[in-house]
A = this chain, B = another copy of it.
C-alpha cells in the first residue's frame, strides 16, 4: 500500500481479497502497510486489486519470507553504521574487538589497535549470554559506557549485543549496531523490540538454523519497520568436535541470492580455533562476504571468555594484510576509516 493509504483503503483491499476467496494478511510496517495475499493459486485477478485506491504495487512473492526477499526488493540494501561506513556495498567492512568488554584499559587499548590495523567498527559484549550461570556475564551498563568512550577516541562504530527485550532501549542508546546473538535468533520478542529500535541490527544465524529460518528471523525485524539488517554466518553445529562450529561459507552466496540484505562472516565463532580464523577470514572474503567480525584481545590467554578463538593484535594485523589482496582479487576492497575520524566524536 502507499504510505499515505488510509485505514479505510487498507480495509477495502483486505475485503476485496477475501471476496475473491483468498486470505488477506496485513503486514504493517513503519513506512507502509503491506498486505499479504495467502493461497494465491495463480488465478488472482491482479487488475482488480491494482486499481483500488491506496495500492502502490503488486508484488508476487513465492517464499515464506517476504520483505527480506530479492523478489520484494532486488537492489542490495546498504546499511550505514553511523561513522560514514556502509555495509553491503563494494567495500568489505571489518568489525573487530574482544568477546567481552572487561575494563576501561582493555577496551580502549584494543579499540585503538584494531582501528589502526584497519577495522571500521568495534565489537565487544557488555551483556554476555553464557552457557553456565557461573561464567562472567559482562559488565552491563558500565560496559556500554566504555564502548561509547572507545568510539569517541577511535571513530569506530560500536556493535554490541542486546540479550532481552527490556534491554534493547539501553543498548540502542549506546550502540551503532545492535547485535542479536545466535542463541537469540528465534527470540521473537527481542527481535520485535530490536526491529523498533531505530538502530541497524546485526542478526547472527542460530546454531542449527536453516537458511529459511534465518531469513524468517530477519523478516521479524523488517516487519517491524527496520530495513537496516545485516545477517551473519557464524558456523553451525556439526558432528566433529575438533572445531567449535562448522563455518558454512556456502551460506553466504546462497543467502545473498535470496535476500537483498548484506551478509558478513564470523570466523572466530565459526571455527573456535585461533589459528584457523585468518584462513577462514580470507575464504569468507573470497566467497563474497560483505564484512567480517573478528574477536581480538590484547591478551587472549587471560580473556574472560572465548580466549581460545581470540586473535592477538599482531595476528589481526596480519589478517587484514592478507584479506586486502583477496578483496582486490574480486574487485572489492577493505573499508578504511577516514584518517580524520577519531576524537571527532559520534553523537
A residues apposed to B, CB below 8 Å: 25, 27, 36, 64-66, 129-134, 163-167, 183-184, 186-190, 206-208, 210-213, 216, 219-220, 223, 236-243, 246-250, 252-254, 257, 270-271, 273, 275-276, 279-280, 282-288, 322, 325-326, 328-330
A88 to B322: give the CA distance in the assembly, Å: 21
Q: Indicate if the CB atoms of A239 and B237 lie closer than 8 Å.
A: yes
Candidates B184, B219, B257, B326; contact of A132 at CB < 8 Å? B219
Closest to A181 in B: B186
Besides the known contacts A208-B208, A257-B275, 12 further A-B residue pairs in the complex with CB atoms under 8 A apart: A133-B223, A134-B219, A164-B165, A207-B207, A238-B238, A242-B254, A246-B246, A279-B288, A283-B284, A325-B328, A326-B330, A329-B329
* A331 CB, nearest partner CB in chain B, Å: 9
Contact indicator B187/A249 (Cβ below 8 Å) = no
Write the chain B residue with the least CB distance to A278: B253
A283 to B252, CA, bound (A): 11
**Hey, which chain B residues are within 8 Å of A247, CB to CB?**
249-250
Minimum CB–CB distance from A156 to chain B (whole Å) comes to: 26
Contact B276 A254 (CB under 8 A): yes
Asked whether, in the complex, the Cβ of A250 is within 8 Å of the Cβ of B239, the reply is: no
Q: Find out whether the CB atom of A186 lies under 8 angstroms from the CB atom of B129.
A: yes
Residues from chain B with Cβ under 8 Å of A330 in the complex: 282, 322, 325-326
Docked-complex contact B188 and A187, CB < 8 angstroms: no
The answer to whether A239 touches B270 (Cβ under 8 A) is: no
Instruction: Decide: A208 and B211 in contact? CB cutoff 8 A.
Output: no
Least distance between A193 CB and chain B CB atoms (Å):
9
Quick one: closest B residue to A255, CB to CB? B242
Most buried by B among A240, A273, A276, A284: A240
Q: Are B239 and A130 in contact (CB under 8 A)?
A: no
In the complex the two chains form, what is the Cα distance from A240 to B254 in whole Å? 12
Residue among A132, A133, A220 with most chain B CB within 10 A: A133
**Residues of chain B within 8 A of A243, CB atoms compared:** 250, 254
Q: Which residues of B contact A286 (CB under 8 A)?
A: 279, 282-283, 285-287, 326
Bound: A201/B48 CA distance, A: 52
27 contacts between A and B (CB under 8 A): A66-B134, A130-B188, A132-B219, A133-B219, A134-B219, A164-B164, A165-B165, A207-B208, A208-B237, A210-B240, A236-B238, A236-B240, A238-B239, A238-B248, A241-B241, A242-B254, A246-B246, A246-B248, A247-B249, A249-B280, A253-B276, A254-B273, A279-B287, A280-B287, A282-B286, A282-B287, A322-B329
